[in-house]
Amino acid sequence: MYVLEQGIEGSVVLRERLGCPTVYLDHWALNDIALNDRLRNRFVTAISERGGTLRLSLINITEMMRQEDDSEIEAILALVDSVDASLINAHITEVIRLERELRYGNSGYYGNPSSLPEVIHCYLVASNWPDSVRVSELLRIVVGEAFTRQYEQNCKDRFDRLKRLVDTARADEQVVKRSRRTWNKGKQKGDAGMPPTRELARMLCALPVLNKEMKLTRNDFDDMFHAIVPVAYCDIVLLDKRWRAFVNQTGLQHPRVAMVFDSAGLEDFFETLENHDFLDRV
């Protein structure tokens, strides 16, 4: 949740307080749970009783913007209203940069690299600093607005660049060999004191190079973002089958990374959310 506190000389300070467990839902899962009474009630009960937090990304917002049925959007916003919620920064390179600053302390940065305070700050300014922050209201304002359209265009541009890079890399045997070393190194090494964002990102970049038959679509690119920062920073995540398999292949396990489930393991996801003894990792 987000809390407004009094700062120095009457200033207002925004604080993010994450519950435990932290949960991230790929957009198919967000829809499936929000639109099914039984699943929604079970999810709200479980995460509320555990004192957990649902984290949402700008990718969730972008996907909402694409939906044509307003009733589906309202159902998602109602779900968000029913639980403690916050935003997660799914921009991999930005999170890694902040992790580096946090580790080496060169900039005085001391926050959570996976947080997204600038978006909340913009909402607060536009709303004339209300007494409380409701993430659903922020989502309602942002969906369809210029900020999200720009984010969508940026994602498309990055996908186009990524596709060209992958095609070039697959044709270069030296790059393929380096990608194989990167994959193996990611399994063996890592800073146990930090979330494994960098290891996951490097291995994800190596994956399509080593698997030349793997086709990349724009949706795959969006799913890649679903598979990195949330897996590195959350406790439990629902992803597509393909990206759950990727996380399993990395060899990284909970609690260093989230416990990851796909649609076939939805019942296991709920049982884990309801019963597992999570430790506060962030």
Model confidence pLDDT, tens digit, residues 179-235 = 677 666 665 555 556 788 888 887 877 776 666 666 767 666 667 766 899 999 999
In tens, the pLDDT along 104-133 reads 776 555 678 898 777 776 777 777 777 667
- Residue 159 and residue 154: Cα distance in Å, rounded? 9
Instruction: Flag whether pLDDT at 145 surpasses 60.
Output: no
Structure tokens at 21: 């467990």
Beta bridge partners of 32: none
Query: Band of the pLDDT at 146, cuts 50, 70, 90?
Result: very low
Q: What's the pLDDT at 251?
A: 85
The closest of 158, 180, 154 to 169, measured between CA atoms, is 180
Instruction: Flag whether pLDDT at 34 surpasses 90.
Output: yes
pLDDT, greater one: 188 or 237: 237
- Residue 172 and residue 169: Cα distance in Å, rounded? 5
User: Residue 53: inside a domain, yes or no?
Assistant: yes
> CA distances (Å), 209 to each of 167, 222, 228, in order?
8, 18, 18
pLDDT, greater one: 139 or 243: 243
Structure tokens at 193: 């004191």
Q: What's the pLDDT at 142?
A: 62
Alpha carbon 247 to chain centroid, angstroms: 14
Structure tokens at 34: 């929000």
User: Residue 282: inside a domain, yes or no?
Assistant: no
User: Residue 41: inside a domain, yes or no?
Assistant: yes
Q: Is 44 helix (H, G, I), strand (E, B) or coil?
A: helix
pTM: 0.82
- Residue 93 and residue 91: Cα distance in Å, rounded? 6
User: Residue 220: inside a domain, yes or no?
Assistant: yes
**What's the mean pLDDT when you consider all of the chain?**
80
In tens, the pLDDT along 246-277 reads 888 888 889 889 999 999 999 999 999 999 99
User: Residue 280: inside a domain, yes or no?
Assistant: no
Query: Band of the pLDDT at 7, cuts 50, 70, 90?
Result: low
pLDDT, greater one: 1 or 42: 42
- Residue 163 and residue 209: Cα distance in Å, rounded? 11
User: Residue 281: inside a domain, yes or no?
Assistant: no
Query: Band of the pLDDT at 56, cuts 50, 70, 90?
Result: very high
Beta bridge partners of 238: 25, 261
CA atoms within 13 A on the CB side of 113: 24
When divided into structural domains, the chain yields a total of 1
User: Residue 150: inside a domain, yes or no?
Assistant: yes
Give the helix/strand (H/E) hosting 260: strand 259-261
Q: Which of 32-41, 92-101, 187-196 has the lowest mean pLDDT?
A: 187-196
Instruction: Flag whether pLDDT at 63 surpasses 60.
Output: yes
Q: What's the pLDDT at 2?
A: 78
Q: Which range of residues forms the domain containing residue 197?
A: 2-275
Query: Band of the pLDDT at 61, cuts 50, 70, 90?
Result: confident
Q: Return the top range by mean pLDDT from 58-62, 82-86, 110-114, 239-243.
A: 82-86
